[in-house]
């Protein structure tokens, strides 16, 4: 085994840049090219990938550190194969050297960059009112990058070094500044264009004719690390090796970490898409970007989104706003979360939250804070139903299909939802002033998985029999536990059931799975003495806890819902009615 110290590669003038994100932790198995940290300057943010594969043994950097070329990042322990691979294919130090000048040219903030190092723009005139063609400067290996933002428009007076456009790759976003001052007469790119070095960007009139300016372009503002920027690796022990996953694999992992599948809106912990200037703007205002819903292409956050978010917070109110804009956090004035060094009080172990928890946690908080929840509890007598279920399971023992209480509950809920359609509804997210009643019955059920809670959905449960539903819940629960649920498996729910019956408890208060308006919590059934008018009889009672959204439903309706549901569970023939 070899212990390798991974350092920041030669990133030219890009010095003392702040570490804003740690993307790996001790114990992680990392691949070559996997991003280790994110650094950020005024004009760009970039991820620094690793050239070494192996297990992270120690992180040397921490959040807020300022790093430059050669700053140690972490120690990686890799096996012989991992060490051999880079040595044979692309020795990190050599790549670092080869890339250094490019990186040096492209990563420096414009102000700090000697103009002579950058390609000159095409100056069509040297006169006082020269027309200048601004081109994309040398941005190293950064090719065919997408224009995601136009920061100026024709007629604007542009200052030298003012950002003209923002481009973004998988690993970085950066603003491209103007090499000259002048009035913008033509913008030669549009949103979605792919640009590379030397491509025409804009035309300026009245630009300065100073040779110093006309001949020497200002470089691109702190572009990202090149496609595979090298990271210096310093062997500490002996040579190592490990199979090196491909770069596309590393990207796939990153994509997998996005919250897309669950469609839960802004997610703290997830990576927000925002240009460096927006990041800086948000930081200045103390806005957590992960809480801001982006309105730009692919959900990118714009400066206006940050402003709206702040306005929303200051104004209060929790109504969903047209266009999927962020839900204001109701102007809650809350004390800061306690920052405690728990290790002072005893031994601790830090465990990172799973991806699912990072996604579902904020959504649960949103739902809990923004929905006026009320929970009604009730008991259903399932003595006969349970006998029936056990009987059917005996009959079907050989078929391998197990009828669960959950499957009966799904069917009973569908019948109840048909009777009380306001529970199979959503508030219109666009206007907030209408209720959408759904004429389809897609029932979600909470599945406890090693990585956290998932809510797969039984589609068209009204059209399925109890046996089919039992089979489908079993399949979906297995998929959930194996981490194999597809996004579509979790979409479209109209009502949810959270069953803790197999585990225990009496009653609880489930959180509504927005944009649904109600959820049924079920706990473990127990034999209880129930007065039948003459005597106490032992009955199997199922505790029900129905949480509902008071904006859509009232307490009387919820009581009726529970009562109707209990009647169905007590006599399942009622499902037919």
Which residues face 545 on adjacent strands? 377, 521
308 is a site residue for ligand CAO (CB under 6 A): no
Please tell me the distance from the alpha carbon of residue 203 to that of residue 187, in angstroms, as a whole number.
7
468 is a site residue for ligand CAO (CB under 6 A): no
Q: Residue 185 or 393: which CB sits closer to ligand CAO?
A: 393
524 is a site residue for ligand CAO (CB under 6 A): yes
The window from 133-141, 226-234, 419-427, 442-450 that contacts ligand CAO (CB under 6 A) reads: 442-450
The window from 72-80, 143-151, 153-161, 518-526 that contacts ligand CAO (CB under 6 A) reads: 518-526
Q: In whole angstroms, how close is the CB of 68 to ligand CAO at the nearest point?
A: 46
Please tell me the distance from the alpha carbon of residue 399 to that of residue 386, in angstroms, as a whole number.
19
**SS3 track for 134-148:** EECCCCCCCCCEEEE
Q: In whole angstroms, how close is the CB of 383 to ligand CAO at the nearest point?
A: 12
Distance linking the first and last C-alpha atoms of the chain: 70
Residue numbers 177-236 binding ligand CAO by CB under 6 A: none
466 is a site residue for ligand CAO (CB under 6 A): no
Per CB under 6 A, the list member of 115, 234, 401, 453 interacting with ligand CAO is 453
447 is a site residue for ligand CAO (CB under 6 A): yes
Q: In whole angstroms, how close is the CB of 395 to ligand CAO at the nearest point?
A: 15
Under 8 Å between Cβ of 174 and 17: no
457 is a site residue for ligand CAO (CB under 6 A): no
Instruction: Verify whether residue 377 is a known catalytic residue.
Output: no
Under 8 Å between Cβ of 554 and 535: no
Per CB under 6 A, the list member of 201, 214, 446, 458 interacting with ligand CAO is 446
Alpha helices (H) in 41-190, listed in sequence order: 80-89, 92-107
The window from 18-26, 107-115, 150-158, 519-527 that contacts ligand CAO (CB under 6 A) reads: 519-527
Q: Residue 4 or 522: which CB sits closer to ligand CAO?
A: 522
Residue numbers 383-412 binding ligand CAO by CB under 6 A: 404-406
Please tell me the distance from the alpha carbon of residue 574 to that of residue 262, in angstroms, as a whole number.
35
Q: Residue 70 or 529: which CB sits closer to ligand CAO?
A: 529
Catalytic pick among 249, 273, 373, 550: 550
510 is a site residue for ligand CAO (CB under 6 A): yes
Please tell me the distance from the alpha carbon of residue 530 to that of residue 514, in angstroms, as a whole number.
36
E-only strand ranges, 151-252: 157-158, 163-168, 172-177, 182-187, 194-195, 200-207, 232-235
Under 8 Å between Cβ of 205 and 185: yes
Q: Residue 204 or 403: which CB sits closer to ligand CAO?
A: 403
Residue for token pair 């950058």: 118
Per CB under 6 A, the list member of 96, 542, 553, 558 interacting with ligand CAO is 542
Per CB under 6 A, the list member of 477, 514, 546, 568 interacting with ligand CAO is 477
Indicate the helix (H) or strand (E) that contains 36: strand 35-40
Q: In whole angstroms, how close is the CB of 407 to ligand CAO at the nearest point?
A: 7
Please tell me the distance from the alpha carbon of residue 309 to that of residue 453, in angstroms, as a whole number.
28
DSSP for residue 327:
P
356 is a site residue for ligand CAO (CB under 6 A): no
Polymer length of the chain: 577
The closest of 515, 542, 529, 11 to 231, measured between CA atoms, is 11
Q: Which residue is nearest to ligand CAO (CB)?
A: 501
Q: Dihedral (C-alpha) 268, 274, 275, 278: value to the nearest 10 degrees?
A: -70
Please tell me the distance from the alpha carbon of residue 295 to that of residue 307, in angstroms, as a whole number.
12
Per CB under 6 A, the list member of 21, 422, 448, 462 interacting with ligand CAO is 448
443 is a site residue for ligand CAO (CB under 6 A): no
* 488-507 footprint of ligand CAO as x/- string (CB under 6 A): ----------xxxxx-----
DSSP for residue 2:
E
Which residues face 449 on adjacent strands? 452
41 is a site residue for ligand CAO (CB under 6 A): no
Q: In whole angstroms, how close is the CB of 448 to ligand CAO at the nearest point?
A: 4
Residue 153 dihedral angles phi and psi, to the nearest 5° = -135, 165
**Residues with catalytic function:** 550
- Which residues of the shown chain bind ligand CAO in the complex (CB under 6 A)? 404-406, 445-448, 453, 473, 477, 498-502, 510, 522, 524-525, 542
């Amino acid at each position: 085994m070899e212990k390798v110290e991974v350092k920041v590669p030669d990133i030219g003038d890009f010095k003392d840049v702040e570490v804003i994100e740690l993307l790996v932790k001790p114990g992680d198995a990392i691949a070559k090219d996997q991003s280790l940290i994110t650094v950020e300057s005024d004009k760009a943010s970039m991820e620094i990938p690793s050239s070494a594969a192996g297990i992270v043994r120690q992180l040397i950097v921490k959040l807020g550190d300022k790093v430059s070329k050669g700053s140690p990042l972490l120690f990686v322990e890799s096996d012989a194969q991992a060490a051999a691979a880079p040595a044979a294919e692309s020795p990190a130090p050599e790549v670092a050297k080869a890339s250094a000048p490019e990186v040096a040219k492209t990563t420096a903030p414009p102000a700090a960059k000697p103009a002579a190092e950058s390609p000159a723009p095409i100056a069509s005139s040297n006169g006082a009112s020269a027309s200048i063609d601004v081109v994309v400067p040398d941005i190293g290996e950064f090719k065919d990058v997408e224009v995601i933002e136009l920061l100026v428009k024709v007629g604007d007076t542009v200052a030298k070094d003012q950002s003209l456009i923002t481009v973004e790759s998988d690993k970085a976003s950066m603003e491209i500044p103007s090499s000259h001052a002048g009035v913008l007469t033509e913008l030669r790119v549009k949103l979605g264009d792919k640009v590379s070095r030397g491509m025409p960007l804009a035309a300026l009139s009245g630009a300065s004719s100073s040779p110093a300016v006309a001949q020497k372009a200002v470089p691109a503002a702190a572009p990202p690390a090149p496609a595979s920027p090298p990271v210096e690796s310093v062997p500490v022990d002996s040579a190592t090796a490990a199979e090196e996953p491909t770069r596309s694999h590393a990207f796939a992992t990153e994509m997998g970490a996005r919250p897309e599948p669950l469609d839960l809106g802004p997610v703290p912990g997830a990576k927000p898409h925002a240009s460096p200037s927006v990041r800086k703007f948000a930081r200045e205002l103390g806005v957590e970007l992960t809480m801001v819903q982006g309105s730009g292409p692919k959900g990118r956050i714009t400066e206006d989104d940050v402003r709206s978010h702040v306005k929303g917070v200051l104004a209060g109110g929790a109504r969903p706003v047209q266009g999927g804009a962020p839900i204001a956090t109701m102007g809650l004035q809350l004390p800061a979360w306690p920052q405690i060094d728990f290790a002072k009080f005893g031994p601790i172990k830090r465990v990172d939250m799973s991806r699912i928890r990072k996604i579902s946690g904020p959504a649960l908080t949103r739902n809990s804070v923004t929905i006026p929840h009320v929970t009604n509890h009730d008991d259903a007598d399932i003595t006969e139903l349970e006998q029936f279920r056990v009987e059917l399971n005996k009959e079907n023992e050989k078929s391998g299909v197990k009828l669960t209480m959950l499957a009966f509950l799904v069917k009973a809920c569908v019948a109840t939802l048909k009777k009380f359609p306001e529970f199979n509804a959503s508030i219109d997210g666009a206007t907030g002033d209408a209720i959408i009643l759904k004429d389809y019955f897609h029932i979600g059920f909470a599945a406890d998985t090693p990585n956290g809670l998932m809510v797969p959905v039984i589609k068209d449960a009204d059209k399925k029999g109890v046996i089919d539903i039992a089979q489908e819940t079993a399949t979906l629960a297995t998929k959930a536990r194996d981490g194999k649920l597809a996004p579509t498996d979790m979409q479209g729910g109209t009502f949810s059931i959270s069953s803790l019956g197999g585990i225990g408890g009496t009653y609880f208060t489930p959180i509504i799975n927005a944009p649904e308006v109600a959820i049924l919590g079920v706990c473990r059934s127990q034999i209880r003495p129930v007065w039948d008018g003459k005597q106490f009889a032992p009955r199997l009672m199922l505790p029900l806890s129905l949480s509902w959204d008071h904006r859509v439903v009232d307490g009387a309706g919820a009581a009726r819902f529970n009562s109707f549901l209990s009647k169905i569970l007590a006599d399942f023939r009622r499902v037919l009615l």
